[in-house]
């Protein structure tokens, strides 16, 4: 049973390892399970909600678990810590469009997710890879116009350089709704040279919780 909700229960919790490296988003059930199993080393961020359990038969007290927005957990992290530097996130349209802020990288217009496509900058038919650095978010019109040509062949210009998100960036891009404190936390793990660093800094300066989510359907 839940009580004293500071946030909607659907708000995801950012889980980190004990060293504070971001790992994944978890839902409240998983968060409660980790607290209950005493797997939470420490928590930070803000209190999201409190979950109350049953009454104790011994003294009649009631168990209560306070769930924070960021929790650091014991234990190993699926061998991720070893490979973190070389980690390449799986490529999917949802995350790709988020990477590019729902902008068509050719005409620069912002679109709803359903109106966007994955463009292979060097077309697959010309040996281009289906990889982060060779894909761009494109509106249907630009993608159709470009066809099986490279940007040079089509005399089109990209408005941004496509990049491979690092692990923290990937977590950020996967977040359904990222709270300010979670954004701040992830920002510390995003290189200053990354375009996402500037974007997140802007959101934080403007006091915004994630706004890009508005462009999803
Ligand atoms: Zn376009």
The confidence band for 55, taking pLDDT boundaries of 50, 70 and 90, is confident
Q: How far from each other are the two terminal CA atoms of the chain, in whole angstroms?
A: 30
The predicted pLDDT at position 217 comes to 42
**Token pair of 42, please?**
């420490």
How many angstroms does the Cα of residue 149 sit away from the middle of ligand 1?
Answer: 15
Could you read off the pLDDT of 75-116 as tens digits, one per residue?
Answer: 765 556 567 778 899 999 999 999 999 999 999 999 999 999
- Mean pLDDT, the chain, rounded, equals 88
How far is the C-alpha of 77 from the C-alpha of 85, rounded, in Å? 14
The pTM of the full predicted model, rounded to 2 decimals, is: 0.84
**Order of all β-strands in the sheet with 22-26:** 2-3, 40-55, 62-73, 13-17, 22-26
Q: How far apart are CA 143 and CA 117, in angstroms?
A: 7
Task: Determine the distance separating the centroid of ligand 1 and the alpha carbon of 198, expressed in angstroms.
Answer: 23
- Distance from residue 176's CA to the centre of ligand 1 (Å): 25
Q: Domains of the chain (ranges plus CATH)?
A: 2-82 (no CATH), 93-154 (1.10.30.50), 165-215 (no CATH)
**Distance of CA 101 from the midpoint of ligand 1 (Å):** 13
pLDDT (tens digit, 9 = 90+) per residue, 162-198?
999 999 999 999 998 899 999 999 999 999 999 999 9
> What stretches of 61-193 show up as alpha helix (H) in DSSP?
80-83, 93-99, 140-146, 151-154, 167-174, 180-187
* pLDDT of 5 higher than 80: no
Distance of CA 139 from the midpoint of ligand 1 (Å) = 4
Residues 6+ apart with CB under 8 A from 197: 187, 190, 191
Please list, in sequence order, all residues whose beta carbon lies within 8 angstroms of the beta carbon of residue 144, skipping any fewer than 6 positions away: none
Give me ligand 1 centre to Cα 110, in Å.
8
Other beta carbons less than 10 A from residue 15's beta carbon: 21
Per cent of the chain over pLDDT 70 is 89
Q: How far is the CA of 106 from the centre of ligand 1 (A)?
A: 5
Residue 45 CA to ligand 1 centre (angstroms): 39
Residue 77: what pLDDT? 58
Local confidence band at 201 (pLDDT 50, 70, 90 cut-offs): very high
What is the distance in A from the centroid of ligand 1 to the CA of 203?
Answer: 24
What local confidence, expressed as pLDDT, does residue 10 receive?
86
């Amino acid at each position: 049973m839940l009580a004293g909700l500071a946030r909607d229960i659907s708000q995801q919790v950012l889980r980190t390892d004990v060293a504070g490296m971001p790992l994944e988003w978890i839902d409240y059930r998983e968060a409660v399970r980790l607290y209950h199993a005493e797997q939470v080393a420490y928590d930070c961020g803000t209190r999201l909600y409190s979950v109350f359990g049953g009454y104790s038969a011994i003294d009649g007290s009631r168990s209560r678990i306070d769930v924070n927005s960021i929790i650091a957990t014991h234990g190993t992290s699926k061998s991720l810590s070893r490979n973190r530097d070389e980690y390449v996130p799986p490529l999917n349209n949802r995350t790709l469009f988020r990477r590019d802020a729902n902008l068509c990288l050719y005409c620069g217009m912002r679109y709803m997710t359903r109106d966007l496509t994955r463009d292979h900058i060097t077309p697959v038919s010309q040996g281009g890879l289906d990889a982060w650095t060779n894909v761009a978010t494109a509106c249907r019109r630009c993608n159709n116009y470009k066809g099986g040509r490279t940007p040079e062949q089509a005399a089109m210009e990209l408005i941004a350089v496509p990049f491979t998100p690092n692990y923290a960036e990937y977590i950020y891009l996967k977040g359904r709704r990222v709270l300010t404190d979670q954004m701040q936390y992830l920002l510390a793990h995003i290189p200053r040279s990354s375009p996402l660093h500037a974007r997140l800094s802007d959101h934080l300066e403007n006091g915004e919780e994630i706004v890009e989510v508005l462009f999803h359907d």
